[in-house]
Each structure stands twice: as C-alpha cells, then as structure tokens.
Structure 1
Amino acid sequence: MRVKTCLASIGLWGSATVQAARHGMQAFESIHSAPDGWKPAGAPNPGARLDFRIVLVPVSAPQRPWPLPLASSTPIVESRILSGTNVSDPNSLAYGQYLSQDQLRDVMRPSATGKKAVMEWLTASGISQQNITLDGNWISFSSTANEANFLLDTEFLSYRSTSKPDMTIIRTRNVFLPQSVVQYVQMVHPTTYFPKAPQAISPAVQYSRKVEDINSAVPCEKYTTPQCLRDLYKIGGVVPNNDTSGFIGIAGFLGQYPSHLDLDMMIEKTSPWAKGANYTSYSLSNGTLDESRPGAEASLDIQYTVPLTYPMRSVFYSTGGRGELVPDLNFPDQASNFNEPYLEFFKHILDQKDTSNIPHTISISYGEEEQTVPATYARTVCDQIAALAVRGVSVLSGSGDWGPGSTCQTNDGKNTSRLMPIFPASCPWTTAVGATTGYAPEQAVRFSGGGFSDLWPQPWYQKEAVDGYLSQLGDRWSGLYNPKGRGFPDIAAQGTAFLIIVSGKEGGIGGTSASTPVVASIVALLNAQRLQSGKPTLGLLNPWLYSLNGTGTTDIVAGGSEGCSGIGYKKAKTNRIPYASWNATKGWDPVTGVGTPLFDQLLKSLPTCDTIKQTPVYSVAVGPRNVQLSMDIES
C-alpha cells in the first residue's frame, strides 16, 4: 500500500491567512501557505491560459450548510441512491436493480437553478461561452490568469520548484465564490493544488536473485503465492467463462506499470493452472505504458489478480498525473506528493455507457492520509465511487500500512495529536481491505491500517458491528479519533512475504496493497458466478458482507496494529501517541474488519430470491425515467 502523509498548516476554510473577500463573495477553500518545495515567483503573464473543472452539486442532494462541517457527511449521491434505492441492500427487492448511465446522469444532474447561476457567474466574469463545456454536473472551462483572479476573487501567482528551478506552475492559496453560487458548487479544481513532477515510487522490496528453479514448489512458510492463497481461502470450483463473466480492473497510478514477461515467469513458477494468462492495458491521462521499467506495486497487483481469477479478463488502467495534496508533517513538500489521480480514473469508468466496458470489480492498492486530501476533492471522489456502486461495480481499496497512523498530528495549524484514517478506504462506498499474517492461525499484522473517518459518518450497514467494538473499547483513545465516523477496514487477507518477480528478479513484498488484489480477486470470482447465472453483480459489497454476521469469513482475534511512534516518513519528528494501536477482537475490529474471506462459503451465501425480504417497492420519478426505490429507506 503506497500511503503518504505530509506537513504545513492547512485549513480548508477559515485560515488566518485568508484574504478579505470583496462584497458578495464567500470563502470556499484556502491553504495556509504554499507547500515547501515551491516559492512564489511573481505574478504570471496576465494572458496565461488556465484550465479548470467545476463539479456541481446534484439536484438530488439535500440542502447543505456551508462551510461543510469537517466531521460530518456530505450526502450527495449516497443519500439519494445508495440509501434511497437500496440497490445494494440484499434484503430489498430493489437489490441489484442498478442504474444505466443515462439514469445515473438523471440523478446526478445539477439543478437548473444552480447550473444557470454558475454559468451566468462565469460569463459575467469574462469567461467566453465558447471556452465553457458542460458535461452532466461537470463544467470545464479555460480562462486567462487575469480572468481567474476576478472570477475567484483571488491572486494567482507563479510558483517555482526549489528542486527543479525550470519547473513553474500557476496557483493560488485562497478561493472565493459568490454567495449566489457557493451552495451549488462541490469542487473547483485545480486551484490550491500544487502538483509534483512524475517519478516512480521506491517500494520497500528486497530483490534477492534472478528467478531460479522455475519448476520448484515455493513453500508457503517462506513466501505467499497464489497457490498458498487458493488453499487458505478455499478458492476453487468456479471457472469463469470469458463470454459471460465480465472482467476485473486494476488501478495503476504514480507511473507504476507491470510486465508481461515477469507475469509469464511468475505464472510458470507459481501458478501452472494459469499458463497462457494475459492482461490488457489502457493508458488514461498519459499514464505509463513502459514495460522496460516495471514497478513492484503494479507487478504485485497483476501477478496475483491474473492467476487467481484465471481465465477471467484482467484490465490494468495506467492513470497519469497526481491528485490533490494538502501537506502535513510527514511530507512537507510536493516532491513527496504521492496522491493518486482518482478523479480522472473514476470519471473514465463512469463515462462508459456500455456496461460491457466497465469492470465489475476494481482493485486499488493505493491511498493516503485522509487529512492530506482536500475535503472537496475527497467527497467528489467518494461520490464517484458511490456512482459506480449503483452501476453494479465493487470497489476495493487497501486500508493503509501505518496501523492507526504515522503522522498522528493534524495539519490545521494546531498540530493536535490524532489517529489518522486513510483515504479512499475511509469512503463508505469502498470495501476497505486490511492485512493479516501467519497461517495457523492467521493474526492481525502490526502495519494493517484502520480506524474511523473524520469526513464520513458511520454508514447504516455497519452500525451493529462497529458499535459492538466501540462498547468493548470504552474510553481508550478518547479524543484521538471520531467514534461516530465510518469504521474501516471491512475485511482482511494475507499481507506479508508475497513473492513477486520484477525485471526478471524475484523478491518479497508486503502491505495491504498485497491483501487488496487477493480479496478483489475473490469478489471478482463471485461477481463472475452471478453473471454466469444470469444475476446482477454484487455492486457495493459492504451491506451484504456485514449482513452475513460472520458467515463466509474467519474471525481474526489475535494480533493488532501499531503506529504513532513519533517518527514519520524520512525520519520526520511527529507527535507520539504511546502504545497507539487497534487490537483484533471477536467480531469486527479496525485492523481486520469482519475477518478473512472463505470463498467456498461466500459462494454459498450469495444473495438469492429466497433470501430477499418481500419489501414493498414503489416507483419514484427521477428525471424522465423511473427508478425503483424501496420504502424501508435508511436514514
């Protein structure tokens, strides 16, 4: 799991450095100062062109306060679709009645009033109509630096990289919006975001030697292999049919890319049943497609999903760029920005009209501390994941590799001690995957990330399970986390000593980035089985997973996580929280979730017509179409 944290005092709203707004304007977003690694280089050319994207609040969203309270939900897609349609509730007749792209666009469309207000604001501020593109609730436009200054009541400056003096960008530290439009805008991107030049991550992997004894068995006591995982999690008995089983998608970020040659060697050494297996690659936003320099992260993802799901199709999406960053103590400069471009990746998937072009399962082995991602950006990405759920897609992401936290210090200028949740695992519409180690029995591994979100409240599907854990926890860590927040992870799997082959050399790697493709592969096989049986995919897994009450999983009750040691990334000094940890306990816990999967039992426990309650269903108009909504809507 590639997790990052950072430094600099930042607040989204109300920073002491926020400039005074002109009449009728309201603070929308701000950062305390430009992150280390960037220095102001004067005003840009007034005619310099800037490209922006605005995400509008859907008409289905409830009225929201502004500024948004940090530790509360911003229900947009989820309030109307996931809680409203019950398409992800296995106890509802609406279960599996997923939306088409057109139906989803109807639900996510902006209000006519909001769209009109924002468009009038843009044109009245000097933005030419021909430079504005409206796509659903997304508005893209270009402007000059001067126009952007007036539009957002701010001052864009040129900033020069201290490590690469020839690299300059144009950014601002404060964003204001008219009071007449602020309630209709969810995100303006990019404004306070300072990117970094692409560079490969250097994972902690020790490559031992060239691959030898290609036909020899690899003992599970030494390395975790696909065969070890098949045996441990009872994976078998299902052979996906490529014509009807759909496909699994693997997200690739940060210049990471796998190698077909390495995959062939890995399969020959560890997975003979998958001989001849392959994968397809797609480049999004100029993503890397260079097999001459494969990355350990991408190699890990492909070398486990491909053999575990064989002969199902596997698609690797290489997405270029970097996501938004709010620096904190571990990563004080943008040269350390490893935030992933989730926005571009998820939007590409959602833009596919034909469901045959959409993976039914997505594995994401990346993440960052929740506080380092601008809240407007994080909520927009989480809404996209919710939108994928109502199109029948199961999204899984790693829970992080720093236990209860690494920085353990807020970046709001107060430097308050805090246990740190990980994004996007903290988004309620992902299935977050923790890590275990050992075989007899499995136990929680100390680095397995977990905790409680500071952005999203506890979702309905995990209330009983998480409240049970909190009642055992009592006052321990009181004030250091949000007990009303979404708890994660949801599930776990092996996460240590994974054998991989990179550039012809074998070595070991671990992390929740190893656990995630394992669970994603199991979910992909379940989704394939449902498709082959003429049934809809599982979509959002969590309501079904928690409703099983332990069936289909092995409860992990030994071990625990560790973190908050006072030493962060690159030896940065951080707040120390003595003995900070989450322990594995009976039932759900914030280190292994509900436990590790047993494929054979999960297969038998898939939702069927016999298990669905006869909940009354009525039809509610959504735009020009009707969507089936259950009456037992969760609040």
Structure 2
Amino acid sequence: MNMKICLALVGLWSSTTALAARQGMQAFERVHSAPQGWKAEGAPDPGARLTFRISLVPESQGLLEETLRQVSDPKSARYGQYLSRDDLRDVMKPSAEGEKAVLDWLTASGISRQKIVMAGNWISFSATTEEANELLDTKFLTYRSTVKPGSTIIRTRNVFLPQSVMQYVQMVHPTTFFPKLQQAASPLVKYSRNVQAASPRVKYARNVQDGNSSIIPCDWKKLPTAQCVKDLYKFGDFVPKKNISGFIGVAGFTGQYPSHSDLDLLVAKTSPWAVGANYTTYSINNGTLTESKPPGGEANLDIQYTVLLTYPMRNTFLSVGGKGQWVADLNFPTPQSNLNEPFLDFFKYLLEEKDASKIPHTISISYAEEEQSTPPTYARTVCDQVAALGARGVSVVTASGDWGAGWSCQTNDGKNTTRFLPIFPASCPWITSVGSTTHHAPEIAIDFSSGGFSDLWPRPWYQKEAVPGFFSQVGDVWKGLYNPNGRGFPDVATYGNGFVVIVDGKEEGIGGTSASAPVMASVVALLNAKRLEDGKPPVGFVNPWLYSLNGKGLTDITGGGSTGCTGQGYNNVTTVKVPYASWNATKGWDAVTGLGTPLVEDLLKLLPTFDAVKQTPP
C-alpha cells in the first residue's frame, strides 16, 4: 500500500476513534481544543464530585417567542398583558416525556434520585467524575492553570448524550466551559480600546475635592453632563413620580461596585436639581455589597447617569457575583483574560424572584463580549431567559460593544476564518442594544460603536422591513464576512464619547457604549414610568414598538461610521487585519447607530394609549 495512503488512513482511524461514541450516543457539544492557559494533567480522582445543571427544551418550543411577540407588539390584542411567574413557567415547562426521559437516563446511569433537583425546566444533580464520564460518554480531565500556580479545574472537551434525550436537552452546564480564574479583574484602562467589549473609556482625571464648588450644568466645550444629555434628547418637563413609576436596575458584574459619596459629589458639581439623589443596592449570587477603594469606574458611570436622568425614580444597583462561561479566541485566549459575565445566573435569579417589587421594570447592562466566546448552548439559554423577562414586562437594555465592525475578526472553531464577529448579549433579539455617537450638532456615529449581524439568531420579525433597507444602501460590501440573515444590532444609539463621572473623588471623562446603555435605559425607564403613572402596564420589550414608529421619536444618524479589524487585538495580540473594515451610518436603520437617537418628549407622546389591563405585576 502507498505509505501516504496508509498514514492517512491511520490518521483518519485515530481521529474517528477519538470522537467515537458508544452505540446510541450522539455528539452534543464539543470545543476545538482546551483554551490557552490550561494544561491537561490527567484523570482526576474518580470520586471527585461535580454539580451539573441541565436546561430542558420547552414542550412548545415556539411558544415563548410567540408569547413575547403578542405582549410586546402594539398591533397585538394581547399587548401589555404580561405573564405572572407561574404563567411563564407553564410556557417554558418541558414535556412530560422529555422530563421522564432525562430522569430515567440519569437514574439508569447511576445518579441517585435523591441527588436530583427539579425546578421548572431545570434539572440539577451532583455526580462523581467517574459517574459523569459514563453518563456523558466522555473523559473528564484535570486542567492546571499555567498562569496561576496551584489552580486546577475539571473539564471535558466532548459531550455525548443518548439519542433518547437529545431532543429534550438544551444545555448541560458546566462541561466544556473553562471559566475565568476568580481573582482576575478587568482593569480600567486609560486611552485604550483593548479592554472588554463595553468597558468604560477614561479620557482624563482630576481631583474635585479641592474646594472648587463651581457648578457646570452643561458645557459641550468640555465633557457633557447629565444636563447635556437631557437637553440633547429633549427630556422636557416629565418628572417621574417616585412611588408609582416603577424602578430601574443597573447590573454590576466582575466585582464592580459604586460609591454613594461619588454620586453626591457629581450632584453637587453638575446637577443641583437632583440634590438628595440616591440608589439602593441588592446582591445576586453573592455579589459584593461592600464599597471598594477605589470604586468601580463602570459601576459609578452606570448608576450615576441612570440616577440623574431618571431622578427621582427609584434606582437599584444589582451586584451580581461569579463569572460566566467562556470559549477561548484571539481576544481572550487565556483564563485571566476572560471577562464574560454570569448572565445566566443573573437572569435566572430575576425570573425566579417571588417578590415582584424586587424586579426592575428596566434593566441596564454595560457589559459585552464576542458572541463566539460564549458556548452556543449557553448563549441561547441566556437569550431565552431575556425573552422570558420580556414576557413579564421587563425592558432589558445593553451596550452593543466597543469593537466597531470587529476586533479579532477570526473564528475560534479551528478554521481561523476571517469574519466580522458579532457581540453578545447585544445580538440576542430580545434585548434592546445601544450603540454610540459623538458630537451634538449634529450627532454622528463614533468609530468604536459595535454593530453587525448575529451568527446565532436569525433576523427577528420586527426587523423584517428595517434591515433590508440598510443592505440596499451598502450593497455587497463585506459580503462573506457576516451573516446577512442574522439579527441586526444595535437597535438605537446615544452619545458615548465621554461623560463627566466622579470616581474615588476624582472627576473623570468616561465614555464608550458603556455610557450609552444607561442613557438609553433611562429613556426606556421614563417611558415605563409614564405608562405606569397612567394606570397602564409598562412598555416591556420595547423593540417592536420602536421599529413600528418608522423613525418618529428618533433622530436618524446618517454621518460617521465604525471601524474595526485593525490587526491588533486584546493585550496587543496580532489578529486579522481587514483594510477599511467598517459599517457606515445610513438613512434608516444601520449597523452602527441602529434606528438613531431618542427624542424623549416625542416618544412619550407616541406611547400606546390602550386602556390598562388586569395582570400580575412583573
């Protein structure tokens, strides 16, 4: 036999054997390789115990999306008729057959029924590594960190499931996920874009605790303030009533925590009309409730601007503990570089909350990551949780990211394909994604504002008319580098080229889509407040209504554009360079500023005026 053919057959046999499954088992999830920074050391103690969570597929797979559509579309007879927690559980419940199949599989595989906990569409259980190897037809290994001596983790690269349960399982968590080491933190980097996708951009810092008490409500020649935002977006005379207008929640991850004293300084410096402005704090998943020194720049930016823009509405900082799941790529190749947030734990907690008064009507999130850095099963499960919140009448607003058209611009599936990489969770179709602008007379798109098209989710119904108009203007430019049928983002934009923020007693200029998200979340919170004060349900998932306005209540941004794929990624890692990579702002919706920037007075007037409906509050 020809030696080359022989060697090829041996290689094929070896690779096939490595991935071969037991009879009746099918591949469920795989990662190309263990991420950089982890080294396999061998099999762990067979008695080492792990805790798993399985998300089950709902019995009616399209029911959640259809329900969200009906309660969020102003043209629907069910608009505003949001679901209670128990109603939502019925919508998301797994089939009896699926639940039984998974439970039978677990118990037949040696998992004690006493160790299995059922909660809605979730099954949790503990198992030894020996049991898990048999259960998932895989081989768990101990991986040692090469960046933090002494740190180990037990993971696998391949997961197989029986054919009998494949159709019923949405996610097995954690298996192929290599989380970030807990001590690593995302630094606040000056004059740098090489930080997490929606990380705050610090432009300068100076001490304001020096006796200089001059008030600067708004001066566009310097950095803008909350008053500048209110003027730019025509907030008008509407002032929410403190006790009946609902409240806004600001999500804080990665140990970020704000400072009350810094907010007081900012009010005194820029916003005398908000004297006494404050916020409460709430811990989720053991999130910190202790003010750190120095406080988090991201946390201060977010809460300071939602507090001032919605004053005197109730504001709550939601401190979320833990780190999310991660797949290595060029931008975040090592454990210490992982900046993924625990979105699943956050949204799941809110959905399970019994006390409706603890669930914000509006949620602001200024965190983002590349869509490909999150395992697809995890990302889809998180996105479903967001849809469920929307079905309960909650508005979720996120930053679109600060990577422009793309950052590493290379896939992490082993093929290293050049591609504009979308951002998560901004690419989730049930979220309101916010890009950034600069200048004010007129505003134009700013270069770092992320946007594009999802590789996981198709274009949603509410974008069927808006997005094709963008393609008709840009033509086939960048064809092959993105998914033209994917969910387009962002949905809207606001100014993001730096606001005055107080951090640890110092005046700093911080911008990015991190700054844009809380501005838009504040706008949505005011819309929710107006509806609630009028005795009506909140706007909830706001995208269908915004897109139905056909440009009314918004300023269309047609100048400027994004950049990206510069060949330099996180930590100065060399990445793919795509000359002149960009998305331009165009007439109508575009992939850098969405539908445009808000005009609050007009939006308040355009709110649906339907009569109130009887419902359980979110």
2:202 is equivalent to residue 227 of structure 1: no
Aligned residue runs from structure 1 range 354-503, under 5 A? 354-503=355-504
* Deviation of the 1:596 alpha carbon: 0.3
2:132 is equivalent to residue 148 of structure 1: yes
Deviations 1:220-262 (Å, cap 9, x if unpaired)?
A: 2211210110111111322222221111011111111101111
Equivalent residue number for residue 579 of structure 2: 578
Aligned residue runs from structure 1 range 225-624, under 5 A? 225-293=225-293, 294-609=295-610
What is the alpha-carbon distance in structure 2 between the residues aligned to residue 162 and residue 394 of structure 1? 41
Pair 541,361 (structure 1): closer, same or farther in 2 beyond 3 Å: same
Instruction: Give the counterpart of 2:206 among 205, 209, 212.
Output: 209
Pair 579,259 (structure 1): closer, same or farther in 2 beyond 3 Å: same
- Assess if the C-alpha contact under 8 Å between 2:302 and 2:515 holds in 1: yes
Gap regions ≥5 residues in structure 1? 1-14, 62-74, 613-625, 628-635
What is the alpha-carbon distance in structure 1 between the residues aligned to residue 316 and residue 25 of structure 2? 46
Equivalent residue number for residue 77 of structure 1: 64
Equivalent residue number for residue 167 of structure 2: 183
RMSD: 1.7
Bigger drift between 513-522 and 562-571 goes to 562-571
* Deviation of the 1:318 alpha carbon: 1.1
What amino acid does structure 2 have at the position aligned with 1:214? S
Aligned residue runs from structure 1 range 44-193, under 5 A? 44-61=44-61, 77-78=64-65, 80-83=66-69, 86-193=70-177
Equivalent residue number for residue 12 of structure 1: none
Pair 17,581 (structure 1): closer, same or farther in 2 beyond 3 Å: farther
DSSP 3-state at the match of 1:609: coil
Deviations 1:384-429 (Å, cap 9, x if unpaired)?
A: 0000001000111111101110011111111111011101110110
Q: Which has the higher contact order (CA 8 A, sep 6+)?
A: 1
* Deviation of the 1:19 alpha carbon: 2.3
* Deviation of the 1:82 alpha carbon: 2.2
What is the alpha-carbon distance in structure 1 between the residues aligned to residue 355 and residue 253 of structure 2? 24
What amino acid does structure 1 have at the position aligned with 2:400? S
- Assess if the C-alpha contact under 8 Å between 1:492 and 1:515 holds in 2: yes
How much identity, in percent, do the aligned residues show?
Answer: 67
What amino acid does structure 2 have at the position aligned with 1:324? Q
What amino acid does structure 2 have at the position aligned with 1:191? T
- Assess if the C-alpha contact under 8 Å between 1:171 and 1:192 holds in 2: yes
- Assess if the C-alpha contact under 8 Å between 1:76 and 1:383 holds in 2: no
What amino acid does structure 2 have at the position aligned with 1:333? T
* Deviation of the 1:219 alpha carbon: 1.8
* Deviation of the 1:330 alpha carbon: 1.6
What is the alpha-carbon distance in structure 2 between the residues aligned to residue 225 and residue 302 of structure 1? 14
What amino acid does structure 2 have at the position aligned with 1:82? L
What is the alpha-carbon distance in structure 2 between the residues aligned to residue 290 and residue 41 of structure 1? 38
What is the alpha-carbon distance in structure 2 between the residues aligned to residue 153 and residue 477 of structure 1? 42
* Deviation of the 1:207 alpha carbon: 4.7
Q: What TM-score, normalized by structure 2, do the two folds share?
A: 0.92
* Deviation of the 1:206 alpha carbon: 4.7
Deviations 1:532-588 (Å, cap 9, x if unpaired)?
A: 110011111111001111111111010000001111111111111111100011111
- Assess if the C-alpha contact under 8 Å between 1:16 and 1:32 holds in 2: no
Equivalent residue number for residue 21 of structure 2: 21
* Deviation of the 1:506 alpha carbon: 1.3
- Assess if the C-alpha contact under 8 Å between 2:277 and 2:312 holds in 1: yes
Equivalent residue number for residue 32 of structure 1: 32
Pair 448,206 (structure 1): closer, same or farther in 2 beyond 3 Å: closer
What is the alpha-carbon distance in structure 2 between the residues aligned to residue 450 and residue 569 of structure 1? 18
DSSP 3-state at the match of 1:41: strand
- Assess if the C-alpha contact under 8 Å between 2:30 and 2:158 holds in 1: yes
* Deviation of the 1:50 alpha carbon: 0.4
- Assess if the C-alpha contact under 8 Å between 1:17 and 1:32 holds in 2: no
* Deviation of the 1:16 alpha carbon: 7.8
DSSP 3-state at the match of 1:528: helix
What amino acid does structure 1 have at the position aligned with 2:140? F
Equivalent residue number for residue 180 of structure 2: 196
- Assess if the C-alpha contact under 8 Å between 2:254 and 2:322 holds in 1: yes
- Assess if the C-alpha contact under 8 Å between 2:180 and 2:326 holds in 1: no
Deviations 1:121-146 (Å, cap 9, x if unpaired)?
A: 11111111111110000111111111
Deviations 1:60-89 (Å, cap 9, x if unpaired)?
A: 11xxxxxxxxxxxxx5732x3224xx1111
What amino acid does structure 2 have at the position aligned with 1:120? D
What amino acid does structure 2 have at the position aligned with 1:296? G
* Deviation of the 1:513 alpha carbon: 0.6
DSSP 3-state at the match of 2:281: strand
What is the alpha-carbon distance in structure 2 between the residues aligned to residue 574 and residue 461 of structure 1? 35
Pair 572,183 (structure 1): closer, same or farther in 2 beyond 3 Å: same
What is the alpha-carbon distance in structure 2 between the residues aligned to residue 291 and residue 207 of structure 1? 23
What is the alpha-carbon distance in structure 2 between the residues aligned to residue 456 and residue 497 of structure 1? 32
* Deviation of the 1:288 alpha carbon: 2.2
Pair 102,17 (structure 1): closer, same or farther in 2 beyond 3 Å: farther
Query: Paired residues, what number?
Result: 583
What is the alpha-carbon distance in structure 1 between the residues aligned to residue 236 and residue 291 of structure 2? 31
What amino acid does structure 2 have at the position aligned with 1:81? T
What is the alpha-carbon distance in structure 1 between the residues aligned to residue 610 and residue 536 of structure 2? 10
Deviations 1:167-210 (Å, cap 9, x if unpaired)?
A: 11111111111110011000000111111223331123255221
What is the alpha-carbon distance in structure 2 between the residues aligned to residue 17 and residue 136 of structure 1? 38
Equivalent residue number for residue 3 of structure 1: none
* Deviation of the 1:108 alpha carbon: 0.3
* Deviation of the 1:608 alpha carbon: 1.5
Gap regions ≥5 residues in structure 2? 1-14, 190-201
Bigger drift between 207-216 and 526-535 goes to 207-216
- Assess if the C-alpha contact under 8 Å between 1:28 and 1:176 holds in 2: yes
Q: What TM-score, normalized by structure 1, do the two folds share?
A: 0.90
What amino acid does structure 2 have at the position aligned with 1:562? T
